[in-house]
Amino acid sequence: MTSTRDLNRSEYRALAELRYRIRRFLRFSEAAARDAGLEPQHHQLLLAVKGMPDDRRASIGDLAERLQLKPNSTDELVRRVEGRGLVTTERGAEDRRQIIVSLTADGEEALRELSVAHLEELRGEARALAEGLDRLIRRRA
């Protein structure tokens, strides 16, 4: 069941360019996290906890969805970060199967410093990324 049409050169190039920009964006963010003394994944976890929609409290399962990881991987990540004192965990009050993850004061501070210090530069990368997206989306929409 092979499709009959090909992609042309510029379409491939637009796809490749988009991926390049995404990778640059992620690379920048990872370097920023490491400069702040955080593992990139740890940073992402803190951000996911803090940025939960509707002020919803973050369970392992919620975080797995936001981080697009499997629940067991998320569990492991949470433990690693808990080991560094950046988050705490507690059993859910209504559903005692759940684990609710919260930021510690150290976690809040680490996330704040990192976000503040790099937000402007991040916006620059984001802008380049947005251009790449536009190029892809607008082509033969």
Partner DNA sequence: TCCGTAAATATCGTAACACGACATAAGACC
Partner DNA sequence: GGTCTTATGTCGTGTTACGATATTTACGGA
> Could you list the residues that contact DNA (CB under 7 A)?
39-42, 59-61, 64, 69-73, 75-80, 89, 92, 94-99
Rounded Cα gap, residues 28 and 102, in angstroms:
26
Tokens of 2: 């092979």
Task: Return the one option of DNA, a second copy, none that residue 24 interacts with (CB less than 5 to 8 A, by type).
Answer: a second copy
Determine, following the binding rule CB under 8 A, whether residue 11 of this chain makes contact with a second copy.
yes
The answer for 59, left when phi > 0, alpha when psi is -120 to 50, beta otherwise, is beta
Rule CB under 8 A: choose which of 93, 97, 105, 141 binds a second copy.
141
Residue 29 three-state SS: helix
Minimal distance in Å, beta carbon 97 to DNA? 4
List the single partner that 76 binds among a second copy, DNA, none, CB under 5 to 8 Å by kind: DNA
66 binds, among DNA, a second copy, none (CB under 5 to 8 A by kind): a second copy
CA distance 117 to 60: 28
Q: Which of 57, 61, 67, 100 touches a second copy (CB under 8 A)?
A: 67
Helix (H, G, I), strand (E, B) or coil at 112: helix
We find the least distance from the C-beta atom of residue 50 to a second copy, in angstroms, to be 5
Characterize 53-87 residue by residue with b for buried, 16 or more Cβ atoms within 10 angstroms of its Cβ, and e for exposed.
eeeeebbbebbbebbebeeeebbebbeebbeeebb
Interface with a second copy, residue 31, by CB under 8 A: no
| CB of 53 vs DNA, minimal distance in Å | 16
